[in-house]
Amino acid sequence: MIDPLRKILKLYDIKKPHLLYYLDDKVSDQVEDFDLLDDGYELFLNDMIYCIHKSTLELEHKGRIIAIRKKMVSIKEKYKYSVHLDKGKYYIFIKRRKCKKNDRDFYKALLNAL
C-alpha cells in the first residue's frame, strides 16, 4: 500500500490540519468538524466514522461503529451492509455521539474491565 502523506504527517503531533490541506475540497468539507483518530482520540461503539483511504485520499466508507478489534473496526453503513475495515489502511475521522444512550464513561470502564 502506498501512503503518500506518511512522511509529511509523521513530522507533526496534530495531523488533522495538515491532512485536510491535501484532501479534495468536497471530502475536506465533510470531515473538517470531526476528530482524527491519529491525533490521540479513541474509538467507541456507536460513533460515526468517515474512512479516507490512505493511498487514494478518497472517502470510501462512512458509518456507525458496531464492533472494535485491535486492528479492525466493523461499521454499519447507512442503508447498506456491515463492513470490516483495517484501521491501518484508512485515515479515520470520528463524529462523536452526544446522547445519553451512548455513555462514554460506561464504555471506557467496560473496555478497561476486559
For residue 97, tell me if it sits in a domain. Answer: yes
In this structure, what DSSP letter does residue 87 have?
A: G
pLDDT digits (tens), the chain, 114 positions: 788 898 999 999 999 999 999 999 999 999 999 999 887 788 888 889 999 999 999 999 999 998 888 889 999 998 778 999 999 999 999 988 766 565 666 677 677 777
For residue 1, tell me if it sits in a domain. Answer: no
Q: Are the C-beta atoms of 44 and 102 separated by less than 8 Å?
A: yes
Domain count, the chain: 1
Please state the pTM of the whole predicted model.
0.81
Report, in angstroms and rounded to the nearest whole number, the Rg of the chain calculated over CA atoms: 14
- Residue 66's domain comprises 6-113
- Map grid coordinates 502523506 to a residue: 5
For residue 19, tell me if it sits in a domain. Answer: yes
Which CATH number goes with the domain that contains 87?
2.30.30.520
- CA 30 remoteness from chain centre: 13
pLDDT for the residue 103: 67
Closest CA to 93 of 14, 39, 31: 31
pLDDT for the residue 97: 72
